[in-house]
Amino acid sequence: WRFAGQLAKGEVGVFRDGRSTMLDLLERAHALMGSVGVSPPRLRRPPSIPPSPPAASNEPPAFASSASGSGASFEEPSTTQLLDSLPPEVCLAVREALLSLPAQAAQADDALEHIIGCLSEHRKRRGRQSSPRRGLEFLVTMDLGQDLDDEMLLVLLAALTQRGLLACRGVITCLAPADLRAQLAAGTLRSLGLSGVPTAAGTDGGGGGGEAAAVEEMKKVRYLVRGLSSTGAQSGLRAGFALMRSSLLAAEDRSLVLVVVSSLKDAAELVREEGALFKRKVRQVVIQGGVLPFSPGVAAAGEMLEPDSAHNNAFDAASSRFFYHRCQELGVPLLVLSRFAAYGCQVPRSTYDDLAATGGQIGRRLQETQRTSIERLWRRACAPADSPSRAGLPVRCDKRWFCDTFLGGDGRDRAEDVSIWDLVRGFNMYDPIALVAAVPALAERFFETDDLVVHGVRHRVVGVSADRSGVRPGSGLQEWLCAAFLEGARLEAAAEEGEEELPRSGSMGRPPWSRAERGAERGDSLDDPSLSPALGEGGQGSDTVHEE
């Protein structure tokens, strides 16, 4: 397990019986990936690597030997250096195999066998894809388990992945306990047929930790992947940072989208330490947050988009301000979706009933949890402004705000300890619409933006006020979301029945929500009116605290 952990974290080289196994692993990986048509990397291997002396402790021996004929010291490259030198396709396959190592892989040979098996399966999957479509590559930071819409984002991701629109290169969880949230993310992805998506625990997000009740509920989820390693806080390791960095290194220039639906602390650390790499690799940053009022157009000297008091921004205000500013300084385009955008496309309360009806465990859990989640938010909003029971909810998010936003103005005469479930009309999908906006064709179809041009780069905001939500009138976004959620939930049910892979496009029929996206890829018009009907009556409402 030490072998697996060190390899997965990229902390040091990997050793067995005093000899390196990493180069052997990569050579075998090259052979397995050969059918994909990937050229092998140019790695220099020393003529011989003699056994290292036995280690005096449990730590692996230092790698040092003499290069043949020269007497010069040869220092074995680190795991991270070796992976970084691989072509992107091989690098991603190897990294995904490393991050999926089960806890029971206690011996080096067991871990190596698991890795080789994963690479072999990857090669077989590639071989079965007659005409694979490459979706838009992206990373996402999220606080899964804090609100239900984080999990709804992953359900939506399954549908968009199945249609070839997105390719997730990593999920980074933040907000303590980040490792537990990573386990929930891994379990959710696996249930949805996306076990190849790597997950890693990030920072505490600057918020200390999530609400105790929500954390306890996470621990009870049946499909947690409990074998994942933690953040490595005690040893100083940063798994989330390492995953983001390696994903950037493996990506083509200006190809990767970063989606932030959580605290901006992890994203800020990445930009602070790898600014040049970030600028070279990232094509756009999509943030679920909000900005202070601004005048659209060309920015005046020194003018920039400034983060407002949205909940994600408020977790770590200093990191938020740094990240917004640094992205604009580097010329990396921002696309910010505010709470007002979510107000413009609420989904009906019956959505969760429809998800549960598909038979998947995620849909059932979300249906069972939705009432608890909204009731908990009700109590937080009713608590006094200085009460710890608010768990970080902004002061302006009080009882009146809750009633106006979630209950259509009703419920103001209800006491804090009285259920409001009967008054809830629907739910706002804050995080999922950020994922929708990450796909250019969908962003164009569903959203209108107010733009600020800073140093020649256009930064966009969806939802600048209650009167301007940024959702295109008549676009059908609500119906589209309902259909897409249902499609993702059905993929989970299919995976539970034993299907190893997500069905290829067309194998489950062609739901109406996907037609315009396929047309967009061909350059056709996005004005396709055929959408599935709304699933029940929509209204204002939400089960999340992104009200921010």
Judge whether residue 227 has pLDDT over 60.
Answer: no
Question: 306 versus 356: which is more confidently predicted?
Answer: 306
Rounded mean pLDDT of 128-140?
73
Rounded mean pLDDT of 517-538?
34
Mean model confidence pLDDT for the chain:
76
pTM of the model: 0.68
Distances (CA, A) of 280 to 87, 159, 241, 368: 17, 29, 17, 44
For residue 437, give the nearest of 547, 334, 296 by alpha carbon.
Answer: 334
* 393: helix, strand or coil: coil
Judge whether residue 382 has pLDDT over 70.
Answer: yes
CB 394 within 8 A of CB 232: no
Percent of the chain with pLDDT over 90: 46
Judge whether residue 405 has pLDDT over 90.
Answer: no
Judge whether residue 260 has pLDDT over 80.
Answer: yes
pLDDT tens figures, 68-108? 343 444 444 555 555 555 556 666 667 667 666 665 554 55
Percent of the chain with pLDDT over 70: 63
One-letter amino acid for residue 517 of the chain: E
Judge whether residue 443 has pLDDT over 70.
Answer: yes
Distance in angstroms (rounded) separating the CA atoms of residues 420 and 431: 24
Question: 493 versus 421: which is more confidently predicted?
Answer: 421
Rounded mean pLDDT of 363-392?
87
Lowest mean pLDDT among 3-17, 327-341, 485-499, 525-539: 525-539
Judge whether residue 469 has pLDDT over 50.
Answer: yes
Question: 26 versus 364: which is more confidently predicted?
Answer: 364
Question: 176 versus 91: which is more confidently predicted?
Answer: 176
For residue 232, give the nearest of 200, 207, 265 by alpha carbon.
Answer: 200
pLDDT at 404: 86
Rounded mean pLDDT of 54-60?
40
Helix %, strand %, coil % for the chain, to 5?
45, 15, 45
pLDDT tens figures, 321-369? 999 999 999 999 999 999 999 999 989 888 988 998 988 899 999 988 8
pLDDT at 111: 65
pLDDT at 84: 58
Question: 420 versus 504: which is more confidently predicted?
Answer: 420
In eight-state DSSP terms, residue 346 is: -
| Domains annotated on the chain, with CATH | 1-131 (no CATH), 133-439+473-498+509-514+522-548 (3.90.245.10)
